[in-house]
Structure 1
């Protein structure tokens, strides 16, 4: 907590996001020359959504990545868990609920201290009490994440969200200050062309890392997930082989 005004760090971040959204909304509405309530309201919702998702993705990805890759690795036992209900809207525009679970891990650190810490990762899967899992622990922040393939996938997803919404936020800022959008349209078109091979490369890297972690014992993966990884690798290799054959026929 920051002593000034007794506002937490999260509170300051939320205030900065709100002020930035209001400022960008004002600048965009000024450029659009539309002072209607509906237009201003829509612009504000757009800007605050983009800024919030970008900030949340960046902060979440950085903190989780730091713990996952640089934290101390331990074998921890699940001693308990808490559950809560999460509300969401389905494709039929109806609100539904599903239960989320947060496991409590118990392990002994490298100083010999017995620790009981709640996981930073929430899942709909019900934890198995007494089960031992490989976890990553950041002693400086007290953060704990399971050293699993799903956690690594969430980090990749957060990274992609950061890239996409970072681009959208940059476009909004440039538009708000009167810049021409032709450059961003061109960048967007080129991004679509490069996104497929880039995402494929990241996906392949994730698959290889998952296999490496599974066979070195640092990543827990059920058999169905392992089979899925092998199936995806086979699909990628088949796609690359087919593309190579077609390219060779085109040249000849």
Structure 2
């Protein structure tokens, strides 16, 4: 539980919906849902009941609301001291999953530098979310931006930033039946292409194929999404990838 969770809880009560609370806190509705679920798990009570499009607070939610507001008010007074402090200095160590969208990360870094121009960002890439999780756990990184791999130690806190739709993509001239990946025992006569076969999405998809007993012609690892796009445009193989990366090609 943290201040953001309490702030979002208060917003949902005041605004009545997850969507409006998300707008007020500059996050997605799924992030609001995550924080409310986190608070419910922490308190072991149900805080809201859905009525149509509105979220109606339960009696337990109304009971804790005054204490939550007191906490937020107290912190607001403390936060005013920020105006009197010196600029933040130092460095922050950030780990990044290699397969995340670079444009999104660049925007986040740009906003961070505007807020703390004298802080040096030391960023490093990693091919798996699990490796990043271990580095944060061992204090080798201050934080990591990665796909959600779940199963985090209780000493680590997680915060959802965004969600991406992943899809199976192939060239327009490849004839893959629409149900090929839904029929157990199917044989896909195309190679599976990934920029990193050890990445979370690739491992997830491989586990799905194994569970469905679906076989593919081969596995191909390329070094960039540009290379992957070139192969797909030339009808070589298929990929399982975040859709926004190939927005231009799909259009």
TM-score range normalised by the length of the shorter chain: under 0.3
> TM-score, normalised to structure 2's length?
0.20
> TM-score, normalised to structure 1's length?
0.20
The structure showing larger relative contact order (alpha-carbon pairs under 8 Å, at least 6 residues apart) is 1
More helix by share: 1
